[in-house]
Amino acid sequence: MLRRSFVKVVVLWTMSCVSAAPSLAQNTLPANKVFRFVPHANLAVLDPIWTTAYVTRNHGYMVYDTLFSEDAKGKIQPQMVQSYSASKDGKVWTFKLRSGLAFHDGKPVTGEDVVASLKRWASRDTMGGVLFGFVDKLDTPDPQTFRLLLKEPCAIVLEALGKASSNVPFIMPARIAATPGTEQIKEHIGSGPYVFKADEFKPGSIVVYERNPKYVSRSEPPSGLAGGRPVNFDRVEWVIIRDPQTQFNALLAGEVDMLEQPSFEQYETLKKTSGVKMEDFTPAGFQYIMRFNHLHPPFNQPKIRQAAMLAIGQQAFINTQVGVPELVRLCRSIYPCSSVYADENTPGFTGVANPAKARELLKEAGYDGTPIVMMRPTDLSAITKLPLVAKQQLEAAGFKVDLQQMDWASLLARRAKKEPPAQGGWNMFFTTWSAQDIDSPLTSAMLNTKGATGWFGWQDEPRIEELKAKFARAHDAGERKKIASEIQSLVFETAAYVPLGEYRNPTAMRNNISGLLQTPGIPVMWGLSKR
């Protein structure tokens, strides 16, 4: 009976994919030249600058290239750049591009494209914004060269240009990069290893990429995101399957090659399943967070945000959401406990729920019972249980919670809205970050506290921005650590957001797949091969 049910599920899944995406049936390439991948979420936003969503970032790495990249040891290495130099006073940085770089439309990559791309990236990214606070101007002495002319020396130039994760300084044609950062781009042309097939894109069903035959790879061996990017597949298909059991069945049947984030409930089973292997390409792990909207009541009041923070206990979140002891760790720091900036000095936050004290703060703040609009993604297994735990803990402290359920793509669209909750906005959502994304004050998007132009939640906190600039000037490791600690203290003082604990989420793939690279949580499609 179980076997019959399993076959029925696989057949139904196959039929649905074929009907939704005929390209699966029409493809005549050899099996080892096609890679089918199940991403952790539906790809709803294609602009890698407009959102910090990881699925969009991962799409970016398929299509675009970067000036610098981070190797497996965390060192920044040239990628599109051939050579670079800095003046003696540290105020003029000159970069030469590698020869032969071209966009998917055949046009060469020039310094003009780089300048336009960097300006757009900096308009939305935390680290880019800090870097451009030091920039006097950018220019292009010749088509293969671009320069950063700084107002004063800055210690993070290469670190910023080689930023590995959201938002990544991807390079696109200048005419596309001219799109304001507040608007989404409408063309998706890069110079990366794969070409996005817009004509085959079916949102919610399939995303198709083809090998870029003109891609100019570096000669060095791949290391992390750096070095060569050898492409062994002529075609990559991202197959959107949101049900964890259907994902599991598709992998076992060989209908897909890899699940980016299998559900935690399947972890033990997958470890023991023949023909399947588990690999952890993000050993540093991830951190869960709870984010407030600072624009609207009740969380426009710091004391009410502090009350919510006091109501939260980490253990319940990671036990309920993950439930696998070997995959979780409590950590109060806003920086991952693996980071050099990890700090257990967390003013006002113990990681243990204190509903009684939370109630006292609510009373002092005059909370009027306004329901909190809490967004819950129903189709993202890695975080879907977090809002359920939060609802229980916050209600125990005296909050009223309006839990609104939606798919992840709808949540990403809604969190970009600044309107009041009653007009389609929100009060609270939950997400997760890879450790490398938040391991310093300049990489963490949540520390973009420039109000309406900052990260979703739109905290306005000039003190954090000032400290970030100070951090960027600092060359001494001890001074940097001190500043990072000061920033963390302000995060908890202002209750900007709440860390909920750390976890790992190994990927699952068929045994005939090899070459998965260790990266900062990014499942890259180069280096992989299929027997």
Question: In Å, how far from its chain's centre is CA 244?
Answer: 21
Among 263, 294, 311, identify where a domain stops: 263
Task: Name the band, by pLDDT with cuts 50, 70 and 90, for residue 108.
Answer: very high
**390 shares its domain with 472:** yes
Task: Name the band, by pLDDT with cuts 50, 70 and 90, for residue 94.
Answer: very high
Around Cβ 524, how many Cβ atoms within 10 Å? 19
> What's the CATH code of the domain at 217?
3.40.190
Query: What is the per-residue pLDDT for 28?
Result: 83
Q: What is the pLDDT of residues 129-157, one digit of tens each?
A: 999 999 999 999 999 999 999 999 999 99
**444 shares its domain with 411:** yes
| Position with higher pLDDT, 19 vs 446 | 446
Query: In this model, does residue 12 exceed pLDDT 70?
Result: no
SS3 58: helix
Query: What is the per-residue pLDDT for 26?
Result: 55
Tokens of 467: 């400290």
In terms of phi and psi (left: phi > 0; alpha: psi -120 to 50; beta: otherwise), the region of 451 is left
Query: What is the per-residue pLDDT for 119?
Result: 98
**475 shares its domain with 388:** yes
| Pure H helices in 272-354 | 302-310, 314-321
Task: Name the band, by pLDDT with cuts 50, 70 and 90, for residue 4.
Answer: very low
Query: In this model, does residue 17 exceed pLDDT 90?
Result: no
Query: In this model, does residue 7 exceed pLDDT 80?
Result: no
Rounded distance, CA 329 to CA 314, Å? 10
Query: What is the per-residue pLDDT for 520?
Result: 87
Q: How many domains does the chain have?
A: 3
Average pLDDT score, the chain: 93
Q: What is the pLDDT of residues 38-76, one digit of tens each?
A: 999 999 999 999 999 999 999 999 999 999 999 999 999
**323 shares its domain with 443:** yes
**369 shares its domain with 390:** yes
DSSP 15-51: HHHHHH-THHHH--S-GGGEEEEE-SS------TTT-
**252 shares its domain with 350:** no
Query: In this model, does residue 19 exceed pLDDT 60?
Result: no
In a domain, 528, yes or no: no
Task: Name the band, by pLDDT with cuts 50, 70 and 90, for residue 282.
Answer: confident
Among 263, 295, 318, identify where a domain stops: 263
Q: Which parts of 7-164 are beta strand (E)?
A: 34-38, 65-66, 68-70, 76-78, 81-86, 92-97, 135-139, 145-150
In a domain, 125, yes or no: yes
Query: In this model, does residue 77 exceed pLDDT 60?
Result: yes
**90 shares its domain with 201:** no
Helix axis angle, 2-20 to 244-252, nearest 10°? 100
Query: In this model, does residue 1 exceed pLDDT 60?
Result: no
pTM of the model: 0.89
Query: In this model, does residue 25 exceed pLDDT 60?
Result: no
**295 shares its domain with 327:** yes
> What's the CATH code of the domain at 483?
3.10.105.10
Buried-exposed string 303-338: b where 16+ CB fall within 10 A, e elsewhere: ebbbbbbbbbbbebbbbebbeeeebbbbbbbbbbbe
Among 213, 231, 263, identify where a domain stops: 263
Q: What is the pLDDT of residues 224-262, one digit of tens each?
A: 999 999 999 999 999 999 999 999 999 999 999 999 999
In a domain, 450, yes or no: yes
For the segment 180-196, the average pLDDT, to the nearest whole number, is: 97
In a domain, 46, yes or no: no
Q: What is the pLDDT of residues 490-521, one digit of tens each?
A: 999 999 999 999 999 999 999 999 999 999 88
**448 shares its domain with 307:** yes
Buried-exposed string 232-249: b where 16+ CB fall within 10 A, e elsewhere: bbbbbbbbbbbebebbbb
SS3 102: strand
Inter-residue contact 523 to 507 (CB < 8 Å): yes
**60 shares its domain with 75:** no
Q: What is the pLDDT of residues 193-228, one digit of tens each?
A: 999 999 999 999 999 999 999 999 999 999 999 999
In a domain, 90, yes or no: yes
**419 shares its domain with 394:** yes
Inter-residue contact 414 to 528 (CB < 8 Å): no
Query: What is the per-residue pLDDT for 234?
Result: 98
Domain coverage including residue 358: 286-503
Q: Which of 345, 403, 412 is nearest to 376 (CA)?
A: 403
Q: What is the pLDDT of residues 459-491, one digit of tens each?
A: 999 999 999 999 999 989 999 999 999 999 999
**328 shares its domain with 395:** yes
In a domain, 514, yes or no: no
- Judge if the upstream peptide bond of residue 167 is cis by omega within 30 degrees of 0: yes
